[in-house]
Amino acid sequence: MADTNTLQYTAKDFKSDQEVRWCPGCGDHGILASLQKTLAELGVAKEKYVFVSGIGCSSRLPYYMNTYGFHGIHGRAAAIATGIKIANPDLMVWEMTGDGDALAIGGNHFIHAIRRNIDIKILLFNNEIYGLTKGQYSPTSSKGLVTKTSPYGTIEEPFTIGQLVIGAHGRFFARTVDYNLQLSAEVYKATALFHGTAVVEAIQNCVIFADGVHDNITNKETRDDRTIVLHHGQPMVFGKEHDKGLILDGLKLKVVKIGEDGVMEKDLLVHNAEETDPGIHYMLAGMKYPEYPVAMGVIRAVKSQTYDGAMVEQHVRVKSTSKIKCMDDLLNSGSTWKMK
């Protein structure tokens, strides 16, 4: 992915001629716009992008991107994306998926892509509901949620996406909000530049079937006090007045107020997204309001060898020592005999 300086794109270059068919007000519009803007700024040649998806509202996104795109089948986008990346490691492969697509029907491919650390960027639209099938609960719906398939409330514990990612040996996890364009631009850019399986949870609002489920953390009035945007190397400060922070209290994180009980900014935890030990990242990813602020931004970004990179290396190594250079060599290798 070279030519970074010579390519000049605008967001418009990434808009396809397809009519966008999401509901008016759907969070997906925000995600699409942020992505198109980010891509235009990366300087990567347009033909190197591939957008892959499964099934669901989120999975329609590739049709609206004027890049290579593949709309797959339910749950299988991670597997399709894996094949694309292995076939041509020079491509930048993005997977568009949702909480049902990636975590229910596609759970197996999701965790195994992460485990392998194949260099794909997984953008998981989390609206805690099945939208395209018109309102059933998903693996991230909060326990007790009343939906068409849980008329008396769900009796299932939801997944916390970041914790699942880290549990599957994930090296990259970030979180953003659909219409927070500034945060999204920052997060999508970091995702694009990371090498390895990079999972971004985009908190997304389904205006029809789960309108407002994220309101307590996305509402502009209160969000600064209920979320914390993490930046690598920066102290963990949050709040409208920048007056709150996180410390480690024993084995748990704790919210503190700067200036109270002798707590100074220097006492706060400093975010290290590159720490290989997943302990703090796991706790940060799991923080829930009201006990904690919900963590936003890049929570974990640990460099390590990618699957596709390792495969290329293995090929080079085997090729350099093998006597078999072409099919004729293989066909005539080993035990053969001549008949006259």
Residues that bind another protein (CB under 8 A): 16, 18, 45-48, 50, 52-53, 55, 62-63, 65-73, 76, 79-88, 90-91, 108-109, 112, 311, 314-315, 318-319, 322, 324-328, 330-332, 334-340
CB of 6 to another protein, least distance (A): 13
DSSP 220-259: TTTHHHHEEEE-TTSB-EESTTS-EEEEEETTEEEEEETT
In this structure, the strands spanning 244-249 and 237-238 are antiparallel
Contact 234, 302 (CB under 8 A): no
Torsion angle defined by CA atoms of residues 298, 245, 140 and 279, in that order, rounded to the nearest 10 degrees: 70
Nearest to another protein of 10, 108 (CB atom):
108
Contact 239, 226 (CB under 8 A): no
- Find how far residue 43's CA is from the centre of its chain: 21
The span from the CA of 78 to the CA of 246, in Å, is: 35
Nearest to another protein of 250, 335 (CB atom):
335
Nearest to another protein of 137, 307 (CB atom):
307
Nearest to another protein of 219, 333 (CB atom):
333
Nearest to another protein of 266, 338 (CB atom):
338
What separation in angstroms does the CA of 310 have from each of 53, 94, 271, 305?
A: 25, 20, 29, 7
CB of 194 to another protein, least distance (A): 20
The span from the CA of 126 to the CA of 147, in Å, is: 16
CB of 188 to another protein, least distance (A): 20
The span from the CA of 272 to the CA of 22, in Å, is: 37
CB of 60 to another protein, least distance (A): 9
CB of 120 to another protein, least distance (A): 10
CB of 54 to another protein, least distance (A): 10
Residue with tokens 């999204």: 184
Contacts of 36 (CB under 8 A, 6+ apart): 11, 12, 14, 15, 65
Nearest to another protein of 67, 218 (CB atom):
67
CB of 191 to another protein, least distance (A): 19
CB of 110 to another protein, least distance (A): 10
- Classify residue 23 as exposed, middle or buried by CB count within 10 Å of its CB (0-12, 13-18, 19+): middle
Nearest to another protein of 252, 319 (CB atom):
319
Nearest to another protein of 146, 330 (CB atom):
330
